[in-house]
Amino acid sequence: MKFLEKDLEQIIFESGRDSLEEKGLPMNGKLFRQLKIGNYGIADLVEFTRPCYDGEHREVFVPGVITVYELKKEHIGIASFLQALNYVKGIQMYLHSKKKEKQYMINLVLIGRTLDTSGSFCFITDMLGIETFCHEPYTNGTISFMTYNYTIDGLEFKSESGYRLKNEGF
């Protein structure tokens, strides 16, 4: 049986939150599958949590979180990242049109079987992990990479970060 990207998407979408967390992929918001983001494209999975408001003044005191999950059957590389940036920009523009851009932070998670470590791409999460996709005052949207392994025991997810050159030259 050939494992396809749509299979990965379906398993994640249909799995229980506790099961996903046990397998290394924590999720706690409302999950949407194949979400059309205007003319910016169709995102594989998008997770939403609502902001919390101060009851008296109706001001946001905990921002909502929007997480875009870009799934790849095999390799995560710069093309995956650039594709996902379209979705992030579309969400930013939608929030701006509704005057809600300050109420949410946007995270980006790229998931695939392997991560491109042949060049500088794998350093992105270390360099752009904070103050990436959001407007003031909630500027802590992040970029993260995850790899998956699909075995007889099901999916397992692993966070990927901290890459460096094998020979740093100093």
Greatest CA separation found in the chain? 58
Q: Would you state the pLDDT for residue 118?
A: 86
Q: Would you state the pLDDT for residue 127?
A: 67
The secondary structure of residue 72, as a DSSP letter, is: -
Q: Would you state the pLDDT for residue 20?
A: 92
Q: Would you state the pLDDT for residue 149?
A: 92
Q: Which of helix, strand or coil describes residue 88?
A: helix
Do the Cβ atoms of 104 and 95 come closer than 8 Å? Answer: yes
Do the Cβ atoms of 84 and 70 come closer than 8 Å? Answer: yes
How far apart, in whole angstroms, are the C-alpha atoms of residue 29 and residue 86? 22
Q: Would you state the pLDDT for residue 111?
A: 96
Q: Would you state the pLDDT for residue 33?
A: 96
How far apart, in whole angstroms, are the C-alpha atoms of residue 12 and residue 42? 17
What is the DSSP annotation of 134-146? --TT-----EEEE
Q: Would you state the pLDDT for residue 128?
A: 59
Cα Rg of the chain, angstroms: 17
Could you tell me the pTM of the whole model? 0.86
How far apart, in whole angstroms, are the C-alpha atoms of residue 170 and residue 163? 16
What is the DSSP annotation of 13-33? HHS-HHHHHHTT----SEEEE
Q: Would you state the pLDDT for residue 60?
A: 61
Q: Would you state the pLDDT for residue 140?
A: 61
Q: Would you state the pLDDT for residue 135?
A: 45
Q: Tell me how many degrees the CA angle 39-111-87 measures, rounded to the nearest 5.
A: 15
Residue 115, exposed/middle/buried by CB under 10 A (0-12, 13-18, 19+)? buried
pLDDT in tens, the chain (170 residues): 567 788 899 999 999 989 999 999 999 899 999 999 999 999 999 999 988 877 676 676 788 999 999 999 999 999 999 999 999 999 999 999 999 988 899 999 999 999 998 888 888 887 655 444 444 444 468 899 999 998 888 899 999 988 887 777 89
